[in-house]
Chain A
Amino acid sequence: MASADLVIGIGNPLRGDDGIGALVAGQARSLAAGAHRGNLRVQVVQQLTPERVLDLQRADRVLFVDACCQAAAPCLQPLAVAQPGELALGLSHRLEPAQLLALTDLLSGRAPAATLLRLPVHVLDHGQGLSPMARRQLPQARWLLLQWMNGHA
């Protein structure tokens, strides 16, 4: 039986390149529809909140797609569950992917295999649309997305 896969695109499309996670996640939706991959669900969020635990509980694999100022090129990075020392937070409803995995693990005793697709960004000003530099990353991002969807990453 195919694994239950989940893609979560993170970012704000009104803040320039920060919307790249949402855009790439949208491509995952198109690719899944074209390949009749009913086992793949796609969500787009501006930030990760604890309610996402209920989605992660039903997933075997999860791919977080997020903008990253430190990344030089698109890359896939395996994600581990956050350790207790990394769980302190003041706000309680804006989480990092590793923290969300830790919540899932705490609540259900298991967390899905997780990967982060980090996408380099350059312009985070107000406004829609990607910068030319971010747009140039899209083919590589799509290739990495396909690698993950096909189980090669």
Chain B
Amino acid sequence: MTRTITIDPVTRIEGHARITLQLDGRGHLADARFQVLEVRGFEQFCVGRPFTEMAGLTSRICGICPVSHQLAAARAGDKLLAVQPPEAAQLLRRLLNLAQILQSHALSFFYLSSPDWLLGWSSDPARRNIFGLMAADPELARGGIGLRQFGQQVIERLGGRRIHQAWAVPGGVRTPLAPETRDWILAQLPQARATMARVLDGYKRLLDGPLRHEQRSFGSFASLFMALVGPDGCWETLDGALRLVDSRAQVVASALSADDYDRFLGEVLEDWSVLKFPYYRPLGYPKGLYRVGPLARLNVCTAIGTPWADAELADFRGRGGTPASGGRIVTAAFAYHQARLVEIVACLEGIEALLQDPRILDRRVRAHASLNALEAVGVGEAPRGTLFHHYRVDDNGLLTAVNLIIATGQNNLAMNRTVAQIARACLPWPLPASAAIPEALLNRVEAGIRCYDPCLSCSTHAAGAMPLHIELRDASGALLCETVRD
């Protein structure tokens, strides 16, 4: 008889999902599925709206990464207008994106994931949250809260509000940067840097000790990685071209334009999840599995380009780089967490560099034009990975087709692979027919998903409750046991 384990809902992620572990007749794992069950239809109801509204409309897809949607929409709008935003606007958009990545990574690392390893995989689930973290390590909690607030305050001071703003628009941004805002942000940076120094020091001690095994093997498998890179191959969050590398550090494709994404990315819809499964088209489905996000960005780039972040990148590769890649590529999903910390450092250094550039205070921040193109793709690196907005419009600028390819969707195949890999490694196979699954083991499976920090609001464009559900099913599909947490 076969069994299926279901984790439903998956907790401490942005959205409602279920994990199903399907067993074969001998009690071994046959399949693992990360199932997303919500649908919102953003791509449909945006049709008919003016493209100029998309930055404001799509920023409401998500309360965590509204800036990413806003920027991708604005960049698609630039192309429809066929304008180059003024230099100051380009710098300001970049500043906004760095603040967004910083605050989102702080949320993922401190609020959602760190309770697993600071409180222990087998700690009481009721305590594995921000409250438990505050009780266990108030200094770390305070630092994490401060970093997230800093990122949000930068966003608020630039765009007038923390979430759902519409400051970036086709052609640029709505308002220039005031010198006093620049000075305020610069004044906050020393504290943020000091916090990060402490956090990195503490986290590396964990990586040297109790997390050493996780950093190398938790959710580790060969895959492709995709991200934007600058002209010199450096870490990039907004401009540049797409590059894919494999787990042996070979460049599979480079200088790819987002405009041609349909040539190299395909999308498959399975009947058991509403979340699409993008894949690298030349390798076919599902062999064309690729990963995006902080781990991918650090694997793809040649360097970050700022001194502290480059030192942290070297440390990251030194700890997790696989021998097959000459230590260059990190394949464990668990390393997403350290990658987020490295990127927070990169954001802090990037913000400082941008604010020290006098061009950022230029008052001309928006280029105006009429509609000059009928199709465009806007791309950017969101906190969770590469984000594409593809629009087609009619002669009046009204949208006739919208396709949003979201980072979480692009990691969908990888999340399924991760769940299977962790379940195989952590659960006691073969599972006795009536055995209850220990909470600590289920939490590890769940934590495999949290490595990717999936945002289901974005990826399905869905709204609603955000809990976790794990199911165990036999070969006939009958439910054998389940765990539900709100």
Contacts and interface: CB of A to CB of B under 8 A. Distances in A.
Interface of A: 46-47, 49-51, 53-54, 87-93, 99, 102-103, 106-107
Contacts of B126: 87-88
Nearest to B139: A107
A54 B129 contact: no
A109 B134 CA distance: 11
10 contacts: A49-B148, A50-B111, A51-B145, A54-B146, A54-B149, A90-B9, A90-B12, A90-B466, A93-B130, A106-B134
Given A87-B126, A90-B467, 7 more contacts: A46-B63, A89-B131, A90-B129, A90-B485, A99-B131, A103-B130, A106-B135
Interface in B385-423: none
A91 B128 CA distance: 11
Contact of B486 (A47, A87, A90): A90
B468 A90 contact: yes
7 A-B pairs with least C-beta separation: A51-B149, A88-B126, A90-B11, A106-B134, A87-B131, A92-B111, A92-B130
A103 B145 CA distance: 11
Given A46-B163, A103-B131, A106-B134, A91 B12 contact: yes
B215 interface: no
B148 to A, nearest CB: 5
A50 B486 contact: no
B132 to A, nearest CB: 8
Nearest to A12: B164
Contacts of A93: 107, 111-112, 130
Contacts of B134: 103, 106-107
A33 B442 CA distance: 54
A53 B112 CA distance: 17
A41 to B, nearest CB: 14
Contacts of B468: 90
A74 to B, nearest CB: 26
A132 to B, nearest CB: 27
B129 A89 contact: yes
A141 B466 CA distance: 32
Nearest to A95: B130
Contacts, number: 62
A91 B138 contact: no
B286 to A, nearest CB: 30
Nearest to B112: A92
Interface string B108-141: 0001100000000000011101110011001001
A99 B127 CA distance: 13
Contacts of A102: 131
A46 B152 CA distance: 14
A47 to B, nearest CB: 8
B131 A106 contact: yes
Most B C-beta atoms less than 10 A away, residue of A89, A90, A99: A90
A89 B146 CA distance: 21
Contacts of A47: 63
A54 B148 CA distance: 11
Interface string B459-472: 00000001110000
A26 to B, nearest CB: 14
Interface string B337-367: 0000000000000000000000000000000
A87 B152 CA distance: 25
A88 B486 CA distance: 9
B309 to A, nearest CB: 24
B142 interface: yes
Nearest to A45: B162
B131 A51 contact: no
Given A54-B149, A91-B466, A107 B130 contact: no
Contacts of B149: 51, 54
B145 A53 contact: yes
Contacts of B467: 90
Contacts of A88: 125-127, 129
B152 A51 contact: yes
A93 B162 CA distance: 14
B111 A107 contact: no
Most B C-beta atoms less than 10 A away, residue of A47, A53, A93, A103: A93
Contacts of B141: 107
A106 B138 contact: yes
B145 A54 contact: yes
Contact of A92 (B12, B152, B485): B12
B278 to A, nearest CB: 26
A35 B138 CA distance: 38
A93 B466 CA distance: 11
Contact of B129 (A46, A53, A92): A92
Contacts of A90: 9, 11-12, 129, 466-468, 485-486
A60 B112 CA distance: 29
B267 to A, nearest CB: 29
Contacts of A49: 148
B165 to A, nearest CB: 12
Most B C-beta atoms less than 10 A away, residue of A51, A54, A99, A107: A51
B316 to A, nearest CB: 25
Interface string B436-470: 00000000000000000000000000000011100
A27 to B, nearest CB: 19
Nearest to B63: A46
Nearest to A99: B131
Interface in B464-486: 466-468, 485-486
A46 B156 CA distance: 14
B130 A50 contact: yes
A152 B155 CA distance: 37
B31 to A, nearest CB: 26
B170 to A, nearest CB: 23
